[in-house]
Amino acid sequence: DGETRIIAALLFRAGGLSYDDVRERAERMAPAERVKVLAAAVEGMTDHELPVREFEETGYTFEIVCDFGAYRDIQRHRMTTQTQQLLGCSLGRTVPDDAHEAGIAVEMEAALDVAREHWEWLAGVDAVHAQYAVPLAYHKRFLMTINARSAFHLVRLRSKVQGHESYRRIACEMKREIEKVHPGIGALIPVDDTKSPAELIAGMAGA
């Protein structure tokens, strides 16, 4: 009922009615009317603004697996609750497109193999402090709970073409998952799915 709660809060602020009254009205709304109310709430926003606080009335919990480098950028969004697992080398790793384009992917893979061997030995002694031996390319798994207002900001910011490919993919996938449960909210979240220069070059090479 996330969309209902946001719409009810918007009507509560605007209408001077009790919450029970506006909640009942929000529940009776047809899908097209719901979309209209939600769209009006973000109309005129600039790229540097967040939606109104009524969008904090609902939230999402994502289970994310990504390379640790991408996580360190996502971690900077303070309006989230994160539940962590220990960082290690058992969930795989990501060798970025840049490494392949520079012709150093093989060397990077070899270095990551050596790092994993050292991590395995250290983890057998102290799994917590062994995290310091894990390169940024290895994957981390965590839960992230975020309200719709902050999700709007994170997806818009982290999907921009200037960003790294790893967290851009996460931002785009977050929008798709939100659209599955709340189509009206998800449709309003701006996402930059423009191809990066590296992706364009790869596409030309494939052609």
d(CA 133, CA 126): 11
Enter the tokens of residue 86: 């220990």
In whole angstroms, give the CA distance from residue 187 to residue 180: 10
Residues 70-98 have a mean pLDDT of 90
Residues 6+ apart with CB under 8 A from 179: 186, 187
Q: What is the pLDDT of residue 47?
A: 80
Average pLDDT over every residue of 167-187: 93
Would you state the structure tokens that stand for residue 4, as one six-digit string? Answer: 């209902």
Distance CA 68, CA 137 (A): 6
Q: Please count the helices (runs of H) and the strands (runs of E) in the chain.
A: 10, 3
pLDDT of 201 strictly over 50: no
Candidate from 68-72, 73-77, 85-89, 92-96 with smallest mean pLDDT? 73-77
Spell out where 8-67 has E strands: 59-67
pLDDT at 202 exceeding the cut of 70: no
Rounded Cα distance, 126 and 42, in Å: 49
End-to-end CA distance of the chain: 46
Taking all residues of the chain, what is their mean pLDDT, rounded to a whole number?
90
Average pLDDT over residues 7-17: 91
* pLDDT the model gives residue 189: 92
Given a contact cutoff of 8 angstroms between Cβ atoms, the answer to whether 2 and 58 are in contact is yes
pLDDT at 200: 44
pLDDT of 91-133, one tens digit each?
999 998 889 989 999 999 999 999 999 999 999 999 999 999 9
More confident residue, 61 or 203: 61
> What pLDDT, on a 0 to 100 scale, did the predictor assign at position 204?
44
Average pLDDT over residues 77-96: 91
Cα pseudo-dihedral 147, 173, 169, 185, rounded to 10: -50
pTM summary value: 0.83
Rounded average pLDDT over 39-55: 90
Q: Is 160 left (phi over 0), alpha (psi -120 to 50) or beta?
A: beta
Over residues 160-170, the mean pLDDT reads 87
Amino acid in the structure at residue 206: G
Residue among 191, 183, 181, 168 nearest 61 (CA): 181
DSSP 55: G
Q: What is the pLDDT of residue 45?
A: 87
User: Band of the pLDDT at 176, cuts 50, 70, 90?
Assistant: very high
What is the pLDDT, as a whole number, of residue 140? Answer: 96
Lowest mean pLDDT among 37-46, 62-71, 82-91, 197-206: 197-206
